[in-house]
Amino acid sequence: MDFDLSEDQRLLQDSISRLLGDKYGFENRKAYLKTAEGWSAEMWAAYAELGLLGLPFAEAEGGFGGGPEETMLVAEQMGRHITLEPWFTTVVLGGGFLRHGASAAQRAAVVPKLAEGKLKLAFAHTERQSRYDLFDVATTAKKDGAGWVLDGAKGMVIHGDSADMFVVTARTAGGQRDKSGIGVFLVDAKAAGVAVKGFATVDGQRAAQVTFSGVKLGADAVLGDADGGLPLVDRVVDEAIAALAAEAVGAMEAAHLMTLDYLKTRQQFGRTIGSFQALQHRSADMMVALEQARSMAFFGTMSAQDSDPVARRKNMAAVKVQIGRSARFVGQQTVQLHGGIAMTMEYAAGHYFKRLTANDGSFGDADHWVRVLAESGGLVAAA
Amino acid sequence: MDLRWTDEEKAFREEVRAFINTNLPTETRERMKMGKSPTKAQVVQWQQILNKRGWAAPEWPKEHGGPGWTTAQRYIFREELMLAPAPSPLGFNINMCGPVIIAFGNAEQKARFLPRMLNLDDWWCQGFSEPGAGSDLAGLKTRAVKEGDFWVVNGQKTWTTLAQHADWIFLLVRTDPNAKKQEGISFLLVDMKTPGITVRPIITIEGGHEVNEVFFDDVKVPAENLVGTENRGWDCAKYLLGNERFGQARVGASRERIARLKKIAAETYDGGKPLTQDIGFMTKVTEIEVELQALEMTVMRVIATAMKNPGSNKPDPTTSVLKIKGTEIQQGVSEMLMKAAGPYAWVDGDPDMEGGSDQVVAEDPDIAPDWAFGLAGVYFNWRKQSIYGGSNEIQRNIMAKAFLGL
């Protein structure tokens, strides 16, 4: 049991922390939000230079050679500054599909460009009826000679408007809610028949509605088993949950510290409001929620590596529940303890609250996962 | 960063588990499996078995009879005891008074008291709280006045846990009434057989006899029974209270009770189906399981920090987190166990069914299933957990002042 960072990990953490500290103050973030992309191309290039875009890929393939702990460290820093760039969608989600589902040839075609910052990915899975069920897929991929034809619509594709390629789940066989017969496809955003409608999300990110109308795909577009793609999706999403947990911890910590600062400076009734016990206890409860979340982010990073998919899924469900509960509490109380100032668009607190709320909703909120976990027998076996 | 147990630690766990399986008396395990506290005789018997193996005091240094374990080993050992379930080494001896004597006592006191503490030849109890000094412990008024070679003690202690079993009591007494309140306190060891001591039971709401009032009326205590420096007893008290980093987390105990709860839920029907298929019920249980998993990782982090800085007594904010969450979880599980029993939870009775309690109904399988007896009693009794050991509100005060800078 060792929670210490290695020398390399500390260097990585220091360099991101320095970069974001210098270039991702809240005022910088406001400026990045106002650009056409809704995020900073300059920062994207800086991430590439630091190795954050090639982070999880093997060095031999042009990557940084980082593992789950490195992803956790970077995600936490991104959370502290509620960054806007498509790092999570490209590197964690897209990268996860490439690492676990792509052939060496498929990776060779994409990873070097991705690591250099010249290619962005987005994961298109949500459909109007699917809510959080990743296996609920109506989009179809029909065999067409050696290749495929893709038809359907995907919603809430995070950073879909800037993606160069989509990772798309599509049904190759069976009914809409069958767990088999799902394929995972790599689709060029500029392919004929792909339509992308971009929009902003509540937490300052971008997203897109993406429709596929008779999109022709080559035989090499499929990642792994064309009829058995769900285990790949689950595995990648479990890793993504670990990264989301770390990101939430970073955001919670920043929100908690910001709140403490405010309690120590804001004066009412002739003294700092942090001298009132009601507010002190609420802050202590925020700290409890944060520490429990931090513990579960570690647990998530550890569990996402588990090769047993059933145990892994239960543990990641638990991570999602704790992170979601803590994020909700810390986010709401950040606003409450600040008072009116946190209700304003110009102040940072509300933006952390919004990001934490959206983080909980990503890939299923705490209520969803507590039900899934309860239905699967929970974490502790009966005596 | 490596977030897993080492192979050595896993092997150690197996060794402990095997020892418990071979040596824990069956009646003790069976009684505890039903959710009851072990009897005095069972606690003594088990601690003597552990002592023979050299395991009676996991946290003590080797020179005083400890096993010389790492923090991780101590934690694993205690976890395995809770999971068995087996009695833990008596806290008053091993985690409260013993460490104070080791840290502050003189050579004679160590030689005289420590071996008997290890072997539970003496059962100790704690004389800290008073009717007027609860959360504000330093407000205590029990007086000790020096007269020749004796301290003469007058006053009253309360909430004295298991004083009815005790041979000795360790006391905080006021030795300088004119000093600032923390500065006139001393730490005294008192033989419970000394004339002038009266123990009066307090029966708690579930009917059990666990706590007592202890009265001191001109009790003469030999001067050599003072530990450390006169008027510096608050140092001993702070050391004692800060000594246990993860004592209140009790992850293993909660896990054992959740496992039992699930067995009961599988055999209990509501709406024509087992409670394990009742999504409302199971969601509440699952919420607790998640918090428990997070708590276990928090404990691991505390262990890792402690192992990196052995000997450091620096206060750690997570200790308060462990107290707050650990007790909330234990209380939550006790409530779900009671709820699982449905109407059969309402048979009155002390869960421990020990002599001296106020219990009304004897355990009788004609009245209720055997597993249901005492579940409500435990629920009522365990409301104490968020009150004792520095109430959960005091823990929040500590966090706000010491760590949040408010």
B264 and B329: one domain? yes
Spacing of C-alpha B82 from chain mean position = 12
B131 and B77: one domain? no
Find all residues with CB under 8 Å of A218, minimum gap 6, and list them.
A146, A147
- Residue A1 covered by a domain: no
Q: Please state, in angstroms and as integers, the Cα–Cα distance from residue A343 to each residue in A79, A274, A337, following that order.
A: 20, 19, 11
**Token pair for residue B258?**
């959740």
A159 and A243: one domain? no
B309 and B207: one domain? no
**Cα dihedral B89/B91/B92/B97 (nearest 10):** 100
Whether this prediction's pTM lies above 0.95 is answered by no
Find all residues with CB under 8 Å of B159, minimum gap 6, and list them.
B129, B202, B211, B388
Cβ pair A373:B286 closer than 8 A: yes
Length of chain B: 406
B179 and B327: one domain? no
Show residues of chain B in contact with A296, CB under 8 Å. Answer: 290, 293-294, 297
Q: Please state, in angstroms and as integers, the Cα–Cα distance from residue B370 to each residue in B45, B279, B316, B345, B350, following that order.
A: 26, 26, 42, 11, 14
B27 and B160: one domain? no
**Domain count along chain B:** 3
B132: domain CATH number is: 2.40.110.10
Find all residues with CB under 8 Å of A136, minimum gap 6, and list them.
A127, A129, A130, A176, A177
Checking if the pLDDT of A1 tops 90, the result is no
Helices A230-265, A68-80: crossing angle, 10 deg rounding: 40
CA distance A64 to A52: 8
- Residue A22 covered by a domain: yes
Query: Contact at 8 Å (CB) between A134 and A167?
Result: no
**Domain count along chain A:** 3
A248: domain CATH number is: 1.20.140.10
Q: Please state, in angstroms and as integers, the Cα–Cα distance from residue A229 to each residue in A120, A314, B59, following that order.
A: 22, 20, 51
A250 and A370: one domain? yes
Of B262, B287, B317, the CB nearest to A382: B262
- Residue B240 covered by a domain: no
Q: What is the pLDDT along chain B (406 residues), one digit of tens a residue?
A: 777 788 999 999 999 999 999 999 999 999 888 778 899 999 999 999 999 999 999 999 999 999 999 888 998 999 999 999 999 999 999 999 999 999 999 999 999 999 999 999 999 999 999 999 988 999 999 999 999 999 999 999 999 999 999 999 999 999 999 999 999 999 999 999 999 999 999 999 988 889 999 999 999 999 999 999 999 999 999 888 877 666 689 999 999 999 999 999 999 999 999 999 999 999 999 999 999 999 999 988 888 887 777 666 666 778 899 999 999 999 999 999 999 999 999 888 766 655 545 555 667 778 888 888 888 989 999 999 999 988 999 999 999 998 899 8
Helix (H, G, I), strand (E, B) or coil at A216: strand
A255 and A222: one domain? no
A219: domain CATH number is: 2.40.110.10
Show residues of chain A in contact with B406, CB under 8 Å. Answer: 260, 263-264, 274-275, 279-280, 283
* Residue A350: CA count within 13 A, CB half-sphere: 11
- What is the residue whose two structure tokens read 């767990």? A179
Q: What local confidence, expressed as pLDDT, does residue B302 receive?
A: 85
Of B4, B5, B289, the CB nearest to A380: B289
H helices of A304-347, in order, are 309-338
CA distance A365 to A301: 18
Q: Please state, in angstroms and as integers, the Cα–Cα distance from residue B138 to each residue in B128, B158, B163, following that order.
A: 9, 15, 22
B130 and B269: one domain? no
Q: What local confidence, expressed as pLDDT, does residue B312 receive?
A: 65
CA distance A43 to A56: 19
B399 and B257: one domain? yes
B319: domain CATH number is: 1.20.140.10
Nearest residue of chain B to residue A367 (CA atoms): B283
- What is the residue whose two structure tokens read 């992309």? A37
Which residues 300-339 in chain A show a CB within 8 A of chain B? 301-302, 315, 318, 321-322, 325
Question: In this structure, is the dihedral angle defined by the CA atoms of residues A61, A63, A64 and A70, taken in order, positive or negative?
Answer: negative
Range of weakest confidence among A217-226, A297-306, B271-280, B341-350: B341-350
Tally A–B CB contacts below 8 A.
161
Show residues of chain B in contact with A264, CB under 8 Å. Answer: 405-406
CA distance A123 to A280: 42
CA distance A42 to A31: 12
CA distance A103 to A184: 13
- Residue A270 covered by a domain: yes
**Token pair for residue A93?**
């989600």
Cβ pair B400:A283 closer than 8 A: yes
B249 and B397: one domain? yes
A76 and A175: one domain? no
The C-alpha of B397 sits at a distance from chain A's nearest C-alpha, in angstroms, of 7
Q: What local confidence, expressed as pLDDT, does residue A138 receive?
A: 98
Q: Does A14 touch chain B (CB under 8 A)?
A: no
A100 and A113: one domain? yes
Last residue of a domain, one of A54, A88, A119: A119
Number of H helices, E strands in chain B: 13, 10
Nearest 5°: phi and psi at A183?
-110, 155
The C-alpha of A70 sits at a distance from chain B's nearest C-alpha, in angstroms, of 10
Q: Which long-range contacts (CB under 8 A, 24 or more apart) does A145-148 make?
A: A146/A218, A146/A219, A147/A216, A147/A217, A147/A218, A147/A219, A147/A221, A148/A172, A148/A183, A148/A185, A148/A216, A148/A217, A148/A219, A148/A221, A148/A222, A148/A226
A91: domain CATH number is: 1.10.540.10
B55 and B146: one domain? no
Query: Which residue range(s) make up the domain with B289?
Result: 245-403
Nearest to B109 by CA among B260, B281, B274, B224: B224
Show residues of chain B in contact with A291, CB under 8 Å. Answer: 298, 317-318, 321
A222 and A243: one domain? no
**Token pair for residue B19?**
């020892």
A294 and A251: one domain? yes
In tens, the pLDDT along A9-42 reads 999 999 999 999 999 999 999 999 999 999 999 9
CA distance B71 to B163: 30
The C-alpha of A71 sits at a distance from chain B's nearest C-alpha, in angstroms, of 13
- Residue B32 covered by a domain: yes
Assess whether B289 carries a catalytic annotation.
Answer: no
Nearest residue of chain A to residue B319 (CA atoms): A288
Query: Contact at 8 Å (CB) between B258 and B333?
Result: yes
> What is the pLDDT confidence band of residue A302, given thresholds at 50, 70 and 90?
very high
Query: Contact at 8 Å (CB) between B195 and B153?
Result: no
Query: Contact at 8 Å (CB) between B5 and A1?
Result: yes
Nearest to A235 by CA among A70, A68, A354: A68
- Residue B184 covered by a domain: yes
Last residue of a domain, one of B178, B201, B230: B230
Q: Does A13 touch chain B (CB under 8 A)?
A: no
The C-alpha angle with vertex B83 and arms to B81 and B85, in degrees rounded to 5, equals 65
What residue type is A358 in one-letter code?
Answer: A
Q: Which of B244, B296, B335, B354 is catalytic?
A: B244
Query: Which residue range(s) make up the domain with A282?
Result: 231-375
Nearest 5°: phi and psi at A21?
-60, -40
For an interface test with B, give the residue of A249, A260, A287, A367 to mutate (most B CBs within 10 A). A287
The C-alpha of A211 sits at a distance from chain B's nearest C-alpha, in angstroms, of 37
Which residues 46-105 in chain A show a CB within 8 A of chain B? 69
- What is the residue whose two structure tokens read 């246990």? B244
Cβ pair A287:B321 closer than 8 A: yes
* Residue A248: CA count within 13 A, CB half-sphere: 39
Mean of pLDDT values over A295-310:
94
B345 and B387: one domain? yes
For chain B, the C-alpha Rg in angstroms (whole number) is 22
Evaluate the omega torsion of the peptide bond into residue B343 and state whether it is cis, within 30 degrees of 0. no
Of A6, A293, A377, the CB nearest to B1: A6
Cβ pair A263:B406 closer than 8 A: yes
B72 and B150: one domain? no
Of B262, B308, B395, the CB nearest to A380: B262
CA distance A111 to A233: 19
Spacing of C-alpha A253 from chain mean position = 17
A250 and A130: one domain? no
Question: In chain A, pLDDT over 70 holds for what percent of residues?
Answer: 100
CA distance B238 to B174: 15
B272 and B353: one domain? yes
